[in-house]
């Protein structure tokens, strides 16, 4: 390829990636932004507490269970095409949410948002493996990680601002309708930049595997998200018991399809890549922090009596750290390599443990000292920002580019499953301690216990990450010595 062709290709490749990043930005933004709007939604639509919960959980559940399918659709039919189809669907679903005249219309819109978000979201991560040379992948993944930090910053604050501003007297509806001009601009400027990528070997979608994967993930995700609020009824435990049986059925079916030369949704041969299972386990531990956003909001508004906008602003140091961390990753990796994932999770562990200590040593009902609070939140967010792109690269880099959509969907689904597990387990511990005593002192105590539980999970993830890196280094050394012989 000529030098002129290379210089022409690089800006186009990065421009296309930036457009695809919108698909990574909007789904977490719409998850965070709705939290602060729930009281306003309940006030206008008269939603019950269960319907209010479904506004969040229906989106999260559908998004999580369809991510793998969304990633594989990009492999088969083209990542750019699936991104734009998902974006158009997401905009239409956002319009339905913005115009909702009843709680159930809003919930329907949220379900459609979750499904269409799962189609567009994996395409950015998959494109890193497909369109970037090895030298550019660390920077691309760092920018990808920074997008999540940006979404956490904007999502916590923008909802409060839009509702307070009451633009055009839209109230809470503005948090959904704001997606429409974003989608329109991306379509207008993004379509000319589209350069299609897909897996050459993937001929068609695996409908049986898609159905089995959706049912299997639903058996785990839905009771995790809905169980505590519903009081853990019998069907939640039945779903948990069915999950390993369904997972085994899915694995066997996909294995047989692969042996017959078919195109499975989840190729067992690919998923047996050395270290991939352990890498995904670390991903699950990384997002044990998922419960933090919900529980910190409960602490700020329940124990400290802050309003939604003030509570959102307290999150800013975390978001700033989460935004800066990935941008520092390419430079820090030159010195510490993949150990940056363990260092990042170590920072999170220290930040959360320090936050627990600070709150425990603050008089009940009083806000912690702002400077140490901001520093600890920043360190926690920075750790998340350092760990995430490095860990994602360690996982996705173990799979060949033709399967980048599949592994992008699997990785994204693992992050969502981790969030759901965190909210169910650590959130369950929090609410068990809380019980019927919602006093400021009891909320504070429950939050400290939850912080320490998250810190233990992240410390375990850091330890597993070090073990995986050492194991990978040992395998590489052994392979190098064999090649020399």
Q: Other CB atoms closer than 10 Å to residue 281's CB: what's the count?
A: 17
Report d(CA 342, CA 29) in Å as an integer. 26
Q: What is the mean pLDDT of residues 395-420?
A: 77
Q: Other CB atoms closer than 10 Å to residue 278's CB: what's the count?
A: 17
Q: What is the mean pLDDT of residues 177-199?
A: 81
Structure tokens at 155: 């999502």
Structure tokens at 358: 């600070």
406 within 8 A of 270, measured Cβ to Cβ: yes
DSSP structural state of residue 361: T
Of 164, 121, 133, which Cα lies nearest the Cα of 28?
Answer: 121
| pLDDT over 70 (residue 187) | yes
Report d(CA 113, CA 61) in Å as an integer. 11
Q: Other CB atoms closer than 10 Å to residue 201's CB: what's the count?
A: 12
Report d(CA 419, CA 186) in Å as an integer. 29
To which H or E segment does residue 433 belong? Answer: helix 404-434
Report d(CA 371, CA 445) in Å as an integer. 22
218 within 8 A of 69, measured Cβ to Cβ: no
pLDDT at 480: 41
pLDDT at 452: 96
| pLDDT over 90 (residue 163) | no
Report d(CA 16, CA 13) in Å as an integer. 5
C-alpha 464, offset from chain centre:
20
Model confidence at 201, pLDDT cuts 50, 70, 90, reads low
- Provide the b/e sequence for 65-76 (b: ≥16 CB within 10 Å): bbbbbbbbbbbb
pLDDT at 479: 45
Structure tokens at 284: 């699950």
Report the range of poorest mean pLDDT among 87-101, 144-158, 221-235, 364-378.
144-158
Structure tokens at 385: 């920002």
Tokens 């590489």 -> residue? 476
Structure tokens at 6: 């290379």
Q: What is the mean pLDDT of residues 21-29?
A: 83
| SS3 label, residue 120 | helix
457 within 8 A of 354, measured Cβ to Cβ: no
C-alpha 421, offset from chain centre:
13
DSSP structural state of residue 368: P
Model confidence at 49, pLDDT cuts 50, 70, 90, reads low
- Widest pairwise Cα distance in the chain: 75
**Sequential DSSP letters for 467-479:** HHHHHHHHHHHHH
Alpha helix positions (H), 78-136: 79-99, 103-120, 122-131
pLDDT digits (tens, 9 = 90+) for 428-448: 888 888 877 778 889 999 999
Which of 339 and 312 is assigned the larger pLDDT?
A: 339
345 within 8 A of 387, measured Cβ to Cβ: yes
Which of 290 and 452 is assigned the larger pLDDT?
A: 452
Which of 202 and 256 is assigned the larger pLDDT?
A: 256
Give the percent of the chain with pLDDT over 90: 24
41 within 8 A of 163, measured Cβ to Cβ: no
Of 305, 323, 301, 4, which Cα lies nearest the Cα of 154?
Answer: 323
Mean pLDDT computed over every residue of the chain = 82
pLDDT digits (tens, 9 = 90+) for 366-384: 889 999 999 999 999 999 9
pTM: predicted TM-score of the whole model, two decimal places:
0.79
| SS3 label, residue 389 | helix
């Amino acid at each position: 390829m000529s030098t002129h062709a290379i210089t022409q290709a690089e800006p186009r490749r990065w421009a296309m990636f930036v457009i695809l990043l919108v698909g990574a930005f909007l789904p977490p933004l719409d998850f965070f932004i709705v939290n602060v709007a729930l009281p306003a939604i309940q006030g206008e639509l008269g939603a019950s507490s269960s319907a209010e919960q479904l506004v969040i959980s229906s989106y999260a559940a559908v998004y999580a269970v369809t991510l793998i399918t969304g990633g594989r659709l990009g492999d088969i039919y083209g990542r750019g095409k699936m991104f734009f189809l998902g974006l158009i669907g997401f905009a239409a679903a956002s319009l339905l949410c913005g115009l909702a005249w009843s709680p159930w219309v809003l919930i329907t819109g949220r379900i459609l948002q979750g499904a269409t978000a799962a189609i567009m979201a994996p395409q950015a991560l998959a494109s890193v493996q497909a369109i970037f040379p090895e030298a550019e992948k660390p920077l691309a993944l760092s920018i990808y990680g920074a997008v999540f930090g940006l979404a956490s910053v904007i999502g916590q604050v923008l909802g409060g601002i839009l509702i307070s501003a009451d633009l055009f007297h839209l109230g809470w509806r503005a948090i959904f309708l704001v997606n429409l001009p974003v989608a329109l601009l991306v379509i207008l400027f993004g379509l000319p930049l589209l350069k299609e990528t897909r897996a050459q070997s993937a001929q068609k979608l695996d409908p049986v595997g898609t159905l089995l994967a959706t049912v299997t993930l639903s058996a785990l995700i839905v009771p995790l998200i809905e169980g505590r609020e519903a009081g853990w009824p019998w069907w939640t435990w039945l779903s948990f018991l069915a999950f390993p049986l369904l997972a085994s059925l899915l694995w066997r079916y996909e294995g047989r399809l692969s042996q017959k030369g078919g195109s499975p949704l989840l190729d067992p041969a690919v998923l047996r890549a050395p270290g991939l299972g352990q890498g995904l386990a670390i991903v699950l531990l990384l997002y044990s922090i998922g419960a933090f956003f919900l529980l910190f909001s409960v602490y700020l508004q329940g124990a400290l009596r802050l309003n939604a906008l003030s509570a959102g602003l307290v999150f800013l140091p975390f978001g700033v750290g989460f935004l800066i961390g990935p941008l520092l990753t390419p430079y820090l990796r030159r010195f510490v390599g993949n150990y940056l994932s363990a260092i990042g999770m170590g920072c999170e562990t220290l930040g959360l443990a320090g936050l627990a200590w600070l709150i425990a040593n603050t008089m009940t009902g009083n806000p912690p000292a702002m400077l140490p609070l901001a520093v600890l939140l920043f360190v926690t967010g920075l750790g998340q920002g350092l760990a995430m792109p490095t860990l994602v690269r360690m996982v996705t880099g173990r799979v060949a580019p033709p399967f980048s959509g599949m592994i992008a969907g699997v990785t994204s689904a693992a992050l969502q499953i981790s969030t759901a597990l965190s909210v169910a387990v650590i959130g369950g511990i929090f609410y068990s301690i809380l019980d019927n005593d919602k006093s400021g002192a009891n909320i504070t105590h429950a939050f400290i216990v939850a912080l320490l539980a998250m810190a233990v999970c992240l410390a375990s993830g850091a330890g597993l990450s070090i073990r995986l890196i050492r194991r990978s280094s040992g395998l590489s050394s052994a392979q190098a010595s064999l090649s020399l012989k």
